[in-house]
Amino acid sequence: MEDLSEILTQLRQNGCLLVNPRRRNGIILIKPYHAEFAGPGSVIGNDFDRDVNNILAVGNLSLLQPQNSEEKRKGYLIRRQWVLLMKQIVDNPIPRERAQVILNQFEHWFDATTATLLSDEIFALLVGVLPTTIAEVRRENERL
């Protein structure tokens, strides 16, 4: 596992890293008013992530240094795809549905155990709902 404090320092200093595209891993970037998920293949850092307050590894996090400008460009395109995917979830006006979709997605992208390790607060920051909404949806899912 990567040293999260070193990663956070590097991001705050305008560093640029690539989430390993060959692993099921990702990083949640916790910002002042929301959180963003950067999945496999995404570039993190530079001007986009200078306002990161904290980070959270998802899966067995592996970060690489982009080797050239083409690798960076591709990483930015992949990061954009992750942002657009999250936007599709957030565009749903019904909070309970947003909560259900983000929980389902993380179980699909990773597994149920990994999704369980992430707090209600983190999921809430990702999709703009209250942590209590995430908790309620999780309880309902457990009953099913």
Q: Do 12 and 34 meet the contact criterion of CB atoms below 8 Å apart?
A: no
Of 51, 47, 43, nearest in space to 69 by CA: 43
| Residue 54: φ, ψ to 5° | -160, 165
Judged on CB neighbours under 10 Å (0-12, 13-18, 19+), 11 is buried
Q: What is the DSSP string of 29-62?
A: EE-SS-EEEE-TT-EEEGGGGTT--EEEEEES--
Q: How many CB atoms lie within 10 A of CB 54?
A: 13
pLDDT attached to residue 1: 43
pLDDT in single tens digits along all 144 residues of the chain:
468 899 999 888 888 999 999 999 999 999 999 999 999 999 999 888 989 999 999 999 999 999 999 999 999 999 999 999 999 999 999 999 999 999 999 999 999 999 999 999 999 999 999 999 999 999 999 987
pLDDT at 12: 86
DSSP one-letter code for 93: S
CB 123 within 8 A of CB 90: no
Q: Domain limits of the chain? A: 1-89, 92-144
User: Token match 């908790």: residue?
Assistant: 135
pLDDT at position 2: 64
How much is the pLDDT for 144?
78
